[in-house]
Chains A and B, each alone.
Chain A
Amino acid sequence: MAVSPGLGLTTPPHTRPRKARRSWTGWGFLGPFVVIFLFTLVAPVIYAIYLSLYRDKLIGGNSFVGLSNYITAIHDPVFHTALFHVLLLLFVQVPIMMALSTMAALALDSSRLYVASLFRMSLFVPYAVPSVVAALMWGFMYGSTFGLVANLNSAIHIHLPNPLASNYVLAALGNITTWEFVGFNMIILYSALQSVPQDRYEAAAIDGATKFQVIRAIKVPAMRRALVVALVFALIGSFQLFAEPNVLKSLAPNTIGSAFTPNMYAYNLSFNGQEFNYAAAIAIAMGIITMVGAYALQVGGMRGDN
């Protein structure tokens, strides 16, 4: 699909072009994108890579350290724990969320719902709530001396465990992210279902397929590509987790701590510890891990397609 710019294509092949006049038209179209792309994506990444190769000490100044920051990260138990937390969320919370989204999308598509648009809206609305607000809201509900949990405890005389205690805090966070993103994923899956040609359902009906057979043989395969896309988003989202735990940290400082997720760790290192260089290394390492994960997911998910 490469389009060679310039007039080369229209020049008769038997005469050597005297001097191919360069046309900038192509660049003119591409320009705005390239400028924004370079400034907002390429430049910050290159700067982060540059930072990650140095170590600027509070005492002793700046010096080039090569890959030493990355080697430190590989052996850093704090980073490992943070990574473990997001992996746990990825492997436990994401499948639950995807199952819920799939069910919601199938329900929407079944055209058996009464006020389908209301159902769709109300599931999608949490996605429109900023994650900081969502975390604050849930934080208040989780409160065991005030808020919903406290009210439940005193209203029906039970003793619910504190959702922000160390045993439950990951589940509490998973609950917030699930609440936020079920609707978003549902929309992705639902739009995939919308593109299934009607004649397949007719054929299935003629063959006497049951509703569940239709789901298994037509709808789920139709959603597969969309599911892979949604999973890639979820993977990135899990690895990038920051706002929700960072907000809840003010309510439960000891269970969440300063390095609960890799991003929180990088944030604390750079803004409280002034370790911009090591934080950059952590960020780049996380970027690479995310890319590898997303790529693997895509390759695995698309296998069998031609």
Chain B
Amino acid sequence: MRTIIRVFITLVLAAIAIALGIWLWQYYMYTPWTRDARVRADIVTIAPDVSGWVMDLDAHDNQQVKAGDVLFTVNHERYEAAVRQAEATLANREYSYQLSEHEYERRRNLGSNAISTEDRETARLNAQIAKAQRDLAKAQLDSARIDLERSVVTSPVDGSVINLHLRQGNYVSQGNAQMSIVRNGSFYITAYFEETKIPSIDIGDGASVWLMGGDQEMHGHVVSIGRGIANTNTTPDGQLLPQVQQTFTWVRLSQRIPVDIAIDHIPDGVYLSSGMTASVRIDDPRQKDDGVDGVRPHGMGNAGEQARDPDIPPAVTSDAEQRDP
């Protein structure tokens, strides 16, 4: 009898342990949280629209700038000369137009026995050509003025200057980025969730964010779930054949899907820099019963979007709709 009780106690304990072990596994593996999240922001790269030496450098590294603030000035002597040249060309063309216009006026009024029809027609067309050339010179002057104007490079947004390597006297080329600006107030979090956790994440779900530095918790919500990541199996080789990777038979690594999280409120004292590491946990929807559910779209929240193309058979969306929110 005592042996039976001993066996029974041990077996019951083992059974409980197995059940709790399964719960623990599910909890740890499928709770939507990740340590792999980064702070991101809107980055605007600044490239001059004209080439030349940097005459004045007004920006300095990590400086706060407002939209319209002067960042640097490219040497504009050549562009001033170009404007003067274009002005002179315009004057030249204007006068040749007047000349040919007057010629045409005179010939138009001559009688048909004084001038041939051909000569009169030539005079008319010459006047037209001169007019077109004057318009061309006008457009070139406008273009030269734009170049001159853009030799002063200004900030398009409010933000901070990042990674300024530019120095006064450097030669900058048209279209080559010289610095970048992080737009103020544009910080958001991109969390890279394992694909196994994606089904339990909905657009609109609340999220808790911790930065690696500091213990302060920030709240946000999911705004979008990435629709694509690179697939190395489709990379073609030199013969355009797909380079299909071998997988291990037993071990397969889950892919990470980027999920964008908007920060609802940045607490005082929290300093955000684009690129910081963060941990993100999606708050369990079952714990948010205070009216949030009514606002939140059902299921993935974008099942309709997924099936917008009428050519996609409805089977594509059935998974998303069956999902328990």
**Does chain A bind chain B?**
no
Identify the A interface with B (CB < 8 A): none
B residues in contact (CB < 8 Å) with A? none
